[in-house]
């Protein structure tokens, strides 16, 4: 299989996943359909769905950039999809822990930070550390953090994201050739993580459905205990 054919194969897989995402994007989260006594289920599902919208958009644009061979931009957006999937997985783990422990723990604090947190201090809560989310996934997916770190090199003006992507030294003529066409950065470096991340997101987005009923009951039972 040629390298070019390999690219097309993974682009088509990514397109299929993103198309499926877009066809199933929710338009509203109704708190009354989840719980009439606890706000926690509404917060949790709201976070799940905004992450779904985010990854669908990031994935769609990343694919367009891969097709145009805008490598650095495509890699940066792929890195962002990894962060988004990391947040969803972290949310899943938090909810699963509530269900397993039969205790709310710090779930509300986590949800407030994830939904409303900001790094600049202007939000009502401090933002969560995205590297924590990446580390959570790394325990589940081998080399996830290493791949994330590699893509981060393209997100910053380091060698990979600047000289390594837009220039090549002509040793014979002793000059520097410039442009994306002179440096063939392998698209597969970003395409494989993009496809894997979209598939990972899909798995845990769907898995959350299995734990939500028990999570809602625990949230409502906690409200009942506080009222008695």
Q: Do the domain assignments include residue 148?
A: no
* DSSP string for residues in the chain: --HHHHHHHHHHHHHHHHHHHHHT--S---GGGT-SS-SHHHHHHHHHHHHHHHHHHHHHHHHHHHHTT-HHHHHHHHHHHHHHHHHHHHHHHHHHHHHHHTS-TTHHHHHHHHHHEETTS-SSEEPP-HHHHHHHHHTTSTTHHHHHHHHHHHHTTSTTTTHHHHEEEETTTTEEEESTTTS---THHHHHHHHHHHHHHHHHHHHHHHHHHHHHHHHHHHHHHHH-
Selected residue with higher pLDDT from 179 and 2: 179
Rounded (5°) CA angle 26-31-32: 115
d(CA 174, CA 159): 19
Report pTM. Answer: 0.93
Give me the domain span that covers residue 89. Answer: 3-139+186-227
Q: What is the pLDDT of residues 179-210, one digit of tens each?
A: 888 877 888 999 999 999 999 999 999 999 99
Average pLDDT over residues 71-95: 97
Structural domains of the chain, count: 1
178: in domain: no
Q: Which two tokens stand for residue 110?
A: 């986590």
Tell me if 167 is assigned to some domain. Answer: no
pLDDT score, position 202: 98
Q: Is residue 70 part of a domain?
A: yes
Residue 157 lies in a domain: no
- Of the candidates 83, 105, 80, 86, the one whose C-alpha atom is nearest the C-alpha of residue 95 is 105
Closest CA to 21 of 61, 48, 62, 53: 53
Encode 52-84: b = buried (16+ Cβ within 10 Å), e = exposed: bebbbbbbbebbebbeeeebbbbbbbbbbbbbb
Q: Is residue 30 part of a domain?
A: yes
Give tens-digit pLDDT for 143-154.
999 999 999 999
Residue 124 lies in a domain: yes
φ, ψ for residue 37, nearest 5 deg = -120, -35
Q: Tell me the average pLDDT across 137-161.
A: 93
Domain-located, residue 33: yes
pLDDT, tens digit, 9 for 90 and up, residues 4-15: 558 889 999 999
pLDDT at 134 (0 to 100): 95
């Amino acid at each position: 299989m040629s390298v070019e054919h390999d690219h097309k194969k993974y682009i088509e897989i990514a397109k299929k996943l993103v198309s499926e995402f877009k066809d199933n994007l929710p338009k509203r989260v109704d708190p009354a359909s989840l719980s009439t006594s606890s706000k926690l289920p509404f917060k949790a599902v709201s976070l799940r769905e905004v992450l779904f919208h985010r990854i669908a958009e990031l994935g769609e644009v990343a694919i367009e950039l891969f097709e145009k061979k805008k490598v650095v931009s495509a890699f940066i957006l792929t890195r962002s999809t990894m962060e988004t999937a990391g947040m969803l997985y972290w949310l899943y783990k938090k909810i699963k822990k509530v269900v397993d422990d039969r205790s709310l723990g710090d779930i509300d604090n986590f949800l407030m930070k994830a939904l409303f947190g900001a790094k600049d201090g202007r939000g009502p809560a401090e933002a969560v550390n995205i590297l924590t989310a990446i580390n959570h996934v790394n325990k589940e997916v081998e080399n996830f953090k290493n791949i994330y770190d590699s893509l981060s090199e393209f997100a910053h003006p380091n060698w990979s994201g600047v000289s390594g992507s837009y220039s090549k030294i002509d040793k014979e003529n002793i000059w520097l050739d410039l442009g994306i066409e002179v440096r063939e950065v392998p698209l597969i470096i970003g395409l494989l993580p993009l496809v894997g991340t979209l598939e990972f997101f899909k798995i845990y987005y769907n898995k959350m459905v299995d734990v939500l009923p028990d999570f809602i009951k625990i949230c409502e039972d906690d409200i009942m205990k506080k009222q008695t």
